[in-house]
Amino acid sequence: MISTASSKAIREFIVTTYAPDVSVEELDPSYDLLDNGLVDSLGLLQLISWIGDRYDIDIDDVEIAPDDFRSVNAIGAFIEKSKNGGLVQ
C-alpha cells in the first residue's frame, strides 16, 4: 500500500491541477478521475509525466494503461508496481 504522505501528494496535485474548486479531503481515493471527466486525455499525459518526475519512474520504460490512473488508489498501485515493490518516498 502506498504511504499516506504519497497519497496526499497525489491528491494535492490532482486537486490543484484539475479541480481547484475541490479540497484535498474531499477527493476520495477511489473516485474515478477519468470517467468523471476530472482528468481528460491532455490531463492524463500531464499526470503521467508528473508521476514519472515525482516518483522517479522512467515512464518510457514501463507499460502504461489508462486504468493505472483511474483513481488515486490505482495511481498508488501503479507507483508501487513500477518501483518493483520498493518503498515509495
Partner 1 sequence: MPPRPTSDMADPHTLGGAVLAHAARRPTAPALLWRDATVTYAELAEAARTADLPDGGGDTGGVAVLRAEKSPRTIARILACLLAGRPALLLSTDLGEVTRELLTERVRTAPPPDGTALLLTTSGSTGVPKLVPLGGGAVDRFTEWAVTAFGIEPGTRVLNYAPLNFDLCLLDIWATLRAGGTAVLVDPDRAVTPRYLLDLLAATEPEVVQAVPMFFRLLAEAAPEGTEFESPRHVLLTGDHAPPRVRAALPRLFPKAAYHNVYGCTETNDSFLHTADATEVAGREVLPLGRPLPGVRTRIEDGELLVATPFQTSGYLHEDGPGERFADGWFRTGDLVSRGEDGALVLVGRTDFQVKVRGVRVNVEEVERVLLEHDGVAEAAVVALPDPEAGQRLHAVVHRHPGRLGGLELRKHCSERLTRAAVPSAFRITDEPLPLTSTGKVNRNRIKEDLRNPRKGNE
How many angstroms separate the CA atoms of 10 and 71, rounded? 10
Q: How far is the CB of 23 from partner 1 (least distance, A)?
A: 8
Binding residues (CB under 8 A) for partner 1: these are 18-22, 26-28, 31-32, 35-38, 40, 42
| Shortest CB 62 distance to partner 1, Å | 25
Using only C-alpha atoms, what is the Rg of the chain?
A: 12
CB of 55 to partner 1, least distance (A): 24
Could you tell me the smallest distance in angstroms from the CB atom of residue 82 to partner 1? 27
Helices (H), 1-89: 4-18, 41-55, 72-82
CA dist 62 and 83 (Å) reads 10
Complex with partner 1: residue 42 or 87, whichever CB lies closer:
42
Q: Which is nearer to partner 1, 22 or 64 (CB)?
A: 22
| Comparison of 3 and 18: residue with beta carbon closer to partner 1 | 18
For the chain, the 3-state helix, strand and coil shares in percent, each to the nearest 5, are 55, 0, 45
